[in-house]
Structure formats: C-alpha cells, structure tokens
C-alpha cells in the first residue's frame, strides 16, 4: 500500500531529517510511527503527502509520489491533522464534510450519501448540522475523522490524534481508530494509544529506523525506548 525506498530529505545542507528510509506498509495494516521530537515523523508524513520533495522513491498503491501524480495520491490518503481547528474551516460539520467530495466532482447527492455514511459509521449523526465553533475538543476531533472518511481514502494518516483530549474523549477516539477498516499510519507520543490501536511500530531516531516490529515487542523494550529518549507506555510500566 505504502512504500519508501531509500528516502532522504534535508531542510538545509548539513541538517538531514530523513536518512535513507526504506519500509513497506501493507494494505490494511495499522502502523504507529514513534520517536522523540525531531526524529523525522512529521517530515515523513509531509513527504508521503507530497508537501516536501524527498530523494528516493515513495509510492502509494503502486503510484509514485510525484508532482504529476499528487492529485491521485491525495485521493488515496486522508490526513487527520493534530489541530482540528486547522482542518475544520467551514461553518458547520456538514459543510466541511461536503467540501472534499464536491471538489472531487461528485454530485451533491453522491457527496451527501458519503457524508451520511461516514457519520453513521462513527455514530455521529447528531453532529451533522452543528456549528464547528460550538463543538467540544473531542467532538471536533471526531468530526475531523468523519470529514476524512467522507473522502473514502484507502489509507488514513493521523498526527497526534489523542493530543489534548480528556480521558473520556481519548477513549472514544481510540475506539474509533480501532474500528477503521483503512490502512492506518499514526504518529504520536501517546504510546499507550499506539499500543491500543496499532499492530506494528516503526521507531524513528535521527531520521533513521531504529526499530520496526510488532507493537507489543517494540513498546515493551524499555532499553530500546530509553536509548531513544522515550519511556515505556504507562500501562506497561506498572
């Protein structure tokens, strides 16, 4: 589904952010991307979305990430931003959810069918006509996920999806992520959430892959995590 082959990127000479990354994410996998600040997680996501141009080869569903292919690539990838206010820019949830399908050329009826299906899948029908500025933080995060699902992407990318949520809304978002059928790539410092939602973990350090394996194995390796300025998930440190 997603493939990186010897991907390199530097914002400026002498400051390499991605340093020869190679990995494959199979269709339907749920992969957590972890690492301390500056490890290269955000840049990796930007390279995948074509927001920065990296050396090497990145492909999505067999389609190489190039300027010519970006429109097709971005139809395959849905990106849930860390700050929902950066994503929800229309007055209501309904208008936000309709925006991308209409811009993809769907009829209003087809777009509305997608909106209703996404809201029903997440159990959020009551949010459809709510004003975004009146939503709680948890409601807005869920609405942002619904907005992406209305695009019917093949893969969902998420940047810190549980950041700044209270325990109840954090659990709602975790349960929602677990139920998503799409391929998932999730970056987060919330390692308990990664443990709950991902089958596999890729640990980045200094722009390189320090570990890549089953979430239960990588996230239980205290020495590995501490060597890369991270700590065990709280659920495993008791």
pLDDT of 80-129, one tens digit each?
988 888 888 899 999 999 999 998 899 999 999 999 999 998 889 999 99
Classify domain 2-236 at the CATH topology level. Answer: Rossmann fold (3.40.50)
Query: What is the model's pLDDT at position 238?
Result: 67
Predicted confidence (pLDDT) per residue in 129-170, tens digit: 999 999 988 899 889 999 999 999 999 999 999 988 889 889
Predicted confidence (pLDDT) per residue in 33-79, tens digit: 999 998 999 999 999 999 999 999 999 999 999 999 999 999 999 99
Query: What is the model's pLDDT at position 121?
Result: 86
151 vs 9: CA distance, rounded Å: 29
Q: Which residue has the higher pLDDT, 12 or 189?
A: 189
Nearest CA among 202, 206, 178, 175 for reference residue 188: 202
Left if phi > 0, otherwise alpha if psi is -120 to 50, otherwise beta: which for 114?
alpha
Query: What is the model's pLDDT at position 69?
Result: 95
Domain ranges of the chain: 2-236
Query: What is the model's pLDDT at position 146?
Result: 92
Average pLDDT over residues 191-216: 96
Nearest CA among 3, 103, 6, 13 for reference residue 55: 6
Task: Using the predicted structure, report yes or no on whether residue 231 has a pLDDT greater than 90.
Answer: yes
Do the Cβ atoms of 18 and 40 come closer than 8 Å?
Answer: yes
């Amino acid at each position: 589904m997603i493939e990186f082959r010897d991907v390199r990127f530097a914002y400026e000479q002498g400051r390499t952010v991605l340093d020869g990354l190679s990995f494959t994410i199979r269709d339907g996998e749920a992969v957590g991307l972890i690492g301390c600040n500056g490890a290269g997680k955000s840049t990796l996501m930007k390279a995948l979305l074509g927001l920065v141009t990296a050396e090497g080869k990145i492909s999505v569903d067999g389609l190489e990430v190039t300027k010519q292919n970006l429109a097709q690539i971005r139809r395959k990838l849905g990106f849930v931003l860390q700050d929902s206010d950066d994503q929800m820019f229309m007055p209501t949830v309904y208008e936000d959810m309709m925006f991308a399908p209409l811009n993809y050329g769907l009829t209003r009826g087809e777009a509305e069918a997608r909106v209703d299906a996404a809201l029903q899948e997440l159990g959020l029908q009551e949010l459809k006509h709510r004003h975004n500025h009146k939503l709680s933080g948890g409601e807005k995060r869920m609405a942002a996920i619904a907005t992406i699902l209305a695009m019917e992407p093949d893969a969902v990318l998420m940047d810190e999806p549980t950041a700044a949520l209270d325990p109840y809304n954090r659990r709602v978002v975790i349960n929602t992520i677990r139920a998503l059928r799409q391929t998932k790539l999730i970056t987060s410092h919330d390692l308990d959430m990664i443990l709950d939602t991902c089958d596999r973990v890729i640990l980045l350090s200094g722009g390189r892959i320090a570990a890549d394996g089953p979430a239960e194995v990588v996230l239980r390796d205290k020495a590995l995590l501490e060597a890369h300025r991270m700590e065990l998930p709280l659920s495993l440190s008791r």
